[in-house]
Structure 1
Amino acid sequence: MPLRPSTFANFQRPLYLWNLIIRDSTNNGFFTETLKVYSFMHHSRVHGNTFTYPLLLKSCANLLSIPHGTMLHGHLLRLGFQADTFVQTALVDLYSKCSIIESARKVFDEMPQRTVVSWNAVISAYCHESLMDKAMSLLKEMLVVGFEPSSSTFVSILSGYSSDLNSFEFLWQGMSIHCFVVKLGLVCFEVSLDNSLMGMYVQFGQMDEAKKIFEILDEKSIVSWTTIMGGYVKVGSIVEAFKLFKQMQHQNIGTDFVVFMNLISGCIQTGELLLASSVHSLVLQCGCDEEDSIENLLITMYANCGNLTSARRIFDAIIRKSVLSWTSIIASYARSGHPEEALDLFRRMVRTEIKPNGATLATILSACADLGSLSIGQEIEQYVFENGFELDQQAQTSLIHMYSKCGVINKSREVFERVKNKDLTLWTSMINSYAIHGLGNEAISLFENMTTSERIRPDAIVYTSLLFACSHSGLIEDGLKYFKSMQTDFGITPTIEHYTCLVDLLSRVGQLDLALDAVKAMPPEVQAKALGPLLSACRIHGNVELGELAAAKLLDVSPRSSASYVLMANLYNSIGKWNEANTMRNAIADKGMVKECGWSQVQFVKYVM
């Protein structure tokens, strides 16, 4: 048991006893107690030594207490500890962990002598803030002056690379670090370093490289297993993730809730109910079912598998429902095509002591958008302002989307204009709103303002909205320009959504041959989505020959889709080939397919919060 400061508060004692109390309280995690001890010690006019102050600074770092830390720094300056390597290193570590990098670097630069730990503290601070250029510059300086990096140095750097999703340039730098680590002989001897290397490759979806590291590990920790499993789930290789789980079971490796979070996330992607039920059984057997994060994922898992009954049963069984629990079940109903039930659950939630957060409001506004219910959306907006969410960008982004879906584009712009410090998601939402309303020039103007005036770097999602806007407004030259600049200026690889917009753009203006060439350039597994717009365009422009070619290709890559036959039947109808049209429609019944009916809805519901 640690010694309590109150036990000795009224007695004079020598420094070694103070140090004993400080050591015990710090080592046992009683960091506030440690600072209280120092307060008694300071008032007793007893000064610490090189043993005392690193422990005190460690306590401040763990508490993220800058006021106490700066006070101690002042004491150290007065007592003349500027040349003490251990004390100064503890100061660097304090400022680094509190993200005051300028102070950490100033103390570091003024140190007469440094250790590897000193260098690591500053490098770690830079990496934590994703200032990788400065971290790498300091690493090079460290090597020049003759210090050999430790595994902790590389763990910090690799964690910095792993957190940056925007630049594959960092992947190449991370691979260079990997080579350096191999040269130093640290691979396979430091599990934490090996896990960091795997984490870096996983972050960039380089699962072959991550698997190579995993397979050569002599000693695999539970973190090693969860890292590689999570990586496979992230890239959609769910089968590989479950194979690894079976290996864990055969090797009698203990599981934790992170393992099950990976497995449940895999089930969410696959949507296979039998697999989901099996994973749920394992969760129950291991007693992890009462973890908040697990419960919420289970709700989402069953909803994605089409079993809202089980999702609701899990939610109802939660005794102490959190805002995440409510948000999960509301989102489950909203995303499963039951917006009315989602709204009903939201009404129940606001009547409890649990208050919604930005994610909850974003979800319920999405349900309003799906219903096309402007009146309910306006009531939600009133709730947003009455409860202090007017600065929440997630809620404001969803308001823009809701007003757009309800056909009130001027309200979308009004919401957009009143938000300060707009993030990329907010800009994307407004650009997409213009796109779905066919206001291509407005979407382009907003995009140019975002990238030029505000200097916000676009991503693949905003380019999808921009190309969609160009397509629906017939802005072919602009669409082609942005499709090219997306790749050349920002290094964004086109996805199926981009290709589909490109094909739709070319098809709408009658450039059908170019559109077909664009389809042929796509991977076969994604061609079906792009062929639909092309086939529709062939009907509009009366190009039967190309339409038949596109239809044959579409039926080849997507033989069980009734939409393919309907599109071809419409093409034949448009030019008076009634027999051929009937053949296409009869093929739907002959092959046991069902044509999906179009539908619309008008809601007459008075919603009361």
Structure 2
Amino acid sequence: MLHSDCLRTLSNNSVFLNPRIACIRCRNHSKIPNFVPASSSYGGFSSKQTKSPLKWGSYGGCIPSILVALETFADLDDAFEPWEGNLSCKERTIILKEQTNWRRALSIFDWFKNKGCYELNVIHYNVMLKILGRAQRWDHVRNLWREMQFKCITPTNSTYGTLIDVFSKGGLNKEALLWLGEMYKQGMEPDEVTMGIVVQTYKKAGEFQKAEQFFKKWSSDRNDATQTRNFYGLYTFNTLIDTYGKAGQLKEASDAFAQMLKEGIVPDIVTFNTIIHVSGNNGQLEEVDSLMELMKEIRCDPDTRTYNILISLYAKHDDITTAAGYFSKMKEAGLIPDIILSEAELPEKGASYVRKMQEAGLVSDCIPYSMVMTRFAKLGKLEQAEDLFDEMVTQGIEPDIVIYSILINAFSDIGSIDEALNYVDSMKHVGFALNSIICNSLIKLYTKAGYLLEAQETYKLAKSLDGGPDVYSSNCMIDLYCENSMVKEAEEVFTYLKHRGDASEFSYAMMLCLYKKIGLVDEAYMIADEMHDSGLVTATLSYNSLIRLYTSDGRSWEAIKCFRQMVDSGAQPDDITFKLLATILIRHGASKEAANRLELIRKNDAQSGVHQWIEAVNAMSCLDDNASTLVIK
């Protein structure tokens, strides 16, 4: 086994040595278990997800060595062996925080619990709630919460703040606000950061008045608690200005900014971007100029968003010269333009601005065109995108590979093979080679059209290029192989994804469908077990795949249990789900007419119909011992 001093040597070395070599001095290298990098597929996660070892050295003590061991060995007993039983509470917290893969973090957390010699307190649970929440593993989050209640681990202000944060950022605004309500029930008040998250949650839902009301209540409660006027920090002022700005309350936003300066709080780039945007949207161009001067005075450099706002603002007011000037400054600063001039959902305006800039001689490359074309493509307005491409070429502006990628991907999305390949040919004609991005677009196109040979050749090429095929195109290949019952080829792609740590829920679901389709039932159940163990059963497709597997194998109870889990998880049952349930009902004594009536109810009233189906399934709760069939009560 690697000794702690040997691991420490590894962690302090800029180039990590082979563990067996590092342990030659201690003559115990023969006891080292088979070396399997924890970041390989055996460990369940990808090395791409690990943090930089340079940071680890700052912790001191045994932490760097432990983190290296966790990167080196998949088996946790092997990784922790030199320190087992001697890890402090703080060290356990750091170890969990440093995990970037939720599965690995959960494995370590469970290892601590199962050892029995480590006390896990609310801080450790908070760390895990954050990791699992950021990974959107909601079932695990709820299970952890129930575990805290069972073990009488009292949630803290930070616990509720973490839950509000992860649910809000995960798009579950209603659940985030329910956690806020639970927090208040426990007599706790949100801190400044949690307050900002709640305000942002209301804003995402377009409820600006509620956001303002919540802020005022929070502020008032804080004042009452301290019996003094509250002085806010930078984060609070930024939140407040943004809230007023989104609600169109210019005066209130300006007053908050003025109060901020009065209290000596230096604005950051977030503050400036927000107040410039608010002022510009309300036609206060002189105020915008003043704000830019203030940025210079306090040496706060504009970022990409600042220039985006300024260019869009002046373009709206037909001041193309000023807009183009900021565009040039942006490029001089080495910043990469993104959505400038695309005018959000109105790329027609963006195209108009580009034409005006072109007429004024202010366009020297294809970047402004590419931004507007990107927006046209995303909105499905491919004719306008092509027109702009033709205009650009006519003006003598040469397209780059990004322009070609936009058009090839757009036509691939809608399955237009001829158009996509025309742009591929044009691109090759001017000397550009295929890159991984374009290969991924073509794979998507070929698999959609069922062009097996072309898809295989392009996928092989993509694997030889930097970046390689992405998860989506790999899943497309698995899907295509499933359609053609090509097991070996599908398994090769699936294994490739697993080794990279990129196998998704869709990847597993497709492999399950393939194995079931060709009668490899044992392999199908192995995939099903892996999906459950990895928490990869969240989508309707996955639930349907499992229900179909259980139904076809006569395992009605497992199918019904899976359906209940589906409903509880919030995944929406579809026509396929109910067709499978009808098969189960009929198999266990229900008439076809009864199943058809249930479907008719669902077609006429989705909510009531789903409820009727759930009741019918729940009614199948008594097993006739003699006939071994389910009896509907």
Larger relative contact order (Cα-Cα within 8 Å, sequence gap ≥ 6): 2
TM-score by length of 1: 0.49
TM-score by length of 2: 0.48
